[in-house]
Amino acid sequence: MANLEKNKKILLNLVKQPGNNVCADCGAPDPDWASYTLGVFVCLNCSGTHRDLPAVSRVKSIRLDNWDDSLVEFMKSRGNSAAKAVYEKSVPAFYYRPHQKECMVLKDQWIRAKYERREFTGENNCLQRVCNSGVFESTLWKKGKDNKQFLKRTFLMSQNDFTLRYFVRADSRVPKAVISMKDLNAVFQPEKIGHAHGLQISYLQEEQTRNLFVYHESGQVIVSWFNAIRATRLAYLKKKHSSAQDSELVPQISRSNLKEGYMEKTGPMQWEPFKKRWFTLSSMDRKLLYFKTPLDATELGAVFIGTESHNYSVAAGTPKSMRGGRWHCGITLQTPGRQFVFMCEQEQEQKEWLEAFKQVISQPMTLQDYGNEANLRRVK
């Protein structure tokens, strides 16, 4: 019993050391579990995937389970930093490393890629060869533009001309759409799409945002697709910015929305009835987009969010003379051309939207931002 208590103290000291004090797979702080076959400390969520890999990884709680001397000695000789040097030795720049709050399929496939398939040890560069082969093809389930039905479509991505094509039938010669990598973005949206492997692909079509919602039954296939898109986007950015370093370009590959959800919106005269709309706000392109529903294929409108020095501001509340809607937590967004009034259902939602707007307004504008602002004004 004395040895068991001693071993527990050793483990609790080990997990406080730099590198070990965060999950080896998602970076969550204060991991409580450890793989005693890989020698890594992991969080509760990631330990679930490790349990699904019994041939590779065996896990125990560092607080609740008993540890033999030999296992503790093994953990002392390894640790997260040592494991990272082996299992993440050659992760491609484009490959997405999931964080604590990412969806499960990304974390699951990251763990499987590292330890089960050993894709980043330098033993095989299969993934990098496939993603950089010039062509990536697969059949995905795609939501119809005007209905909720998902149908099989063949997708073909090419690094030769930096395009993504999809075909209605496998034997079709003419694609339904040819999408440029210039403004393409991909982000996992399992809750919105209603599938654990749901992926949203967005792009600009005649200065309007168009959304595709897809999934594949295999987590490995859909994550491979996601990273193939990232590889092609990085190749495009490298060609466009030939002198830039990977570290400068990787953050531009894809973006997640800073905030999204329902708000009510009135018209430009502010006497029109409030209508419930689905809004998304991106800090990268500084655009507030709105849709009728979360799974709409095309935006209803877009608002550019500039800086305070360019006469953009946001505040809680609504103009005194305004007629209210069903919701009562108001937000007033001031732009050089118009005042926008939104209503949130709950105070917490109002607070989160205000914080998101303020974050974008506080960011300095880039040359590309000025171009985006001018394009939106021209379209209107």
Q: How many other C-beta atoms are found inside a 10 Å radius of the C-beta of residue 137? A: 13
**Banded model confidence at residue 129, pLDDT cuts 50, 70, 90:** low
Q: Give yes or no for residue 127 having a pLDDT over 70.
A: no
Residue 1 predicted with pLDDT over 60: no
* pLDDT at position 125 over 70: no
Each residue of 300-312: pLDDT tens digit?
A: 999 999 999 999 9
Q: What's the distance, CA 9 to chain centroid?
A: 38
Residue carrying the six token digits 């609790």: 12
Region 53-76: mean pLDDT is 94
Interval 221-253: pLDDT, tens: 999 999 999 999 999 999 999 999 999 999 999
- Does position 256 have pLDDT exceeding 70, yes or no? yes
Ramachandran area for residue 136 (φ above 0: left; ψ -120 to 50: alpha; else beta)? beta
Q: What is the pLDDT of residue 96?
A: 96
C-alpha to C-alpha distance for 58 and 36, rounded to whole angstroms: 6
pLDDT at 294: 96
Tell me, what's the pLDDT at 2? 52
Q: Mean of the pLDDT values across residues 314-333? A: 85
Q: What's the pLDDT at 378?
A: 64
pLDDT at 380 over 90: no
pLDDT at residue 280 is higher than 60? yes
What does the pLDDT read at residue 132?
63
Task: Quick: pLDDT tens for 257-272.
Answer: 999 999 999 887 777 7
Is 324 within 8 Å of 333 (Cβ atoms)?
Answer: no
pLDDT in tens, 97-116: 999 999 999 999 999 999 99
Span 159-172, mean pLDDT?
Answer: 91
Mean predicted lDDT score pLDDT of the chain:
91
Strand order in the sheet with 33-35: 40-42, 33-35, 59-61
pLDDT at 73: 94
Q: Please determine, for residue 335, whether its predicted confidence score (pLDDT) is greater than 90.
A: yes
Give the model's pLDDT for residue 313: 96
For the chain, the farthest-separated pair of C-alpha atoms sits apart, in whole angstroms, at 76
pLDDT digit string, tens, across residues 6-17: 888 999 999 999
The whole-angstrom distance between residue 231's C-alpha and the CA centroid of its chain comes to 15
Q: What percent of the chain shows pLDDT beyond 70?
A: 95
State the pLDDT at residue 171.
84
pLDDT per residue as tens digits for the range 350-365: 999 999 999 999 999 9
pTM value is 0.91
Please provide the DSSP assignment of 261-323 as one string: EEEEE--TTS-SPPEEEEEEEETTTTEEEEESSTT-SB-SEEEE---GGGT-EEEES--TTPP
Residue with tokens 């950015």: 237
- Using 50, 70 and 90 to split pLDDT, how confident is the model at 135? confident
